[in-house]
Amino acid sequence: MNALFQWKPSYSVKVVAMDNQHKKLFDLVNELHEAMGSGHGKDVAGDVLYRLIDYTVHHFSAEERLMEKHKYPQLPAHRAAHKALTDKVVAFKKEFDAGTGNVTLELMTFLQEWLRSHIQTIDQRYSDFLNAQGVH
């Protein structure tokens, strides 16, 4: 796992508000990584984990509202991808609350990979469509 999980210009979806939310997600993943390495234990990691989950849900609904507003034709598939991730994260959170194993480490690795690949494929597909409608 990379200690530095940085947002890069190649991750841009060409919509400033969405780029900013993605950057915040990267920050939260890094914060979670630091919390896990700090030796503060489960309470601190748990707090960051919950904020990360909340912000992920917030981002997904903001992104879906934007696509909906502009009648983006690929919204149903995009929404399904968000739902699949949310379901997985909710399952992880249940395991974390139950205190089983290195759930946070697993979740973080999973989130890093997922974030990178989702942004660079599914999210970047809306760039041209939204830009053409004057959304930047």
Comparison of 54 and 97: residue with beta carbon closer to Fe ion? 54
Of 28 and 123, nearer to Fe ion (C-beta) is 123
Residues with Cβ within 8 Å of 49's Cβ and at least 6 positions away in sequence, in order, are: 32, 93, 96, 104, 107
Between 109 and 124, CB nearer to Fe ion: 124
Give the orientation angle of helix 103-120 with respect to helix 16-37, to 10 degrees: 160
Least distance between Fe ion and beta carbon 103 (Å) = 23
List the interface residues with Fe ion, window 31-90 (CB under 5 A).
63
Q: Which among 34-42, 68-76, 109-117, 119-127 is the span making contact with Fe ion, rule CB under 5 A?
A: 119-127
- What 106-113 contacts at long range (C-beta under 8 Å, 24+ apart), as own/partner pairs, is 107/49, 108/1, 108/29, 108/32, 108/33, 108/36, 109/1, 111/29, 111/52, 111/56, 112/1, 112/2, 112/5, 112/29
Residue 38: CB minimum distance to Fe ion, A: 28
Site for Fe ion contains 123 (CB under 5 A): yes
Beta carbon of residue 99, minimum distance to Fe ion (angstroms, whole number): 31
How near is the Cβ of 9 to Fe ion at its closest, in Å?
Answer: 16
**Residues in touch with Fe ion (CB under 5 A):** 63, 123
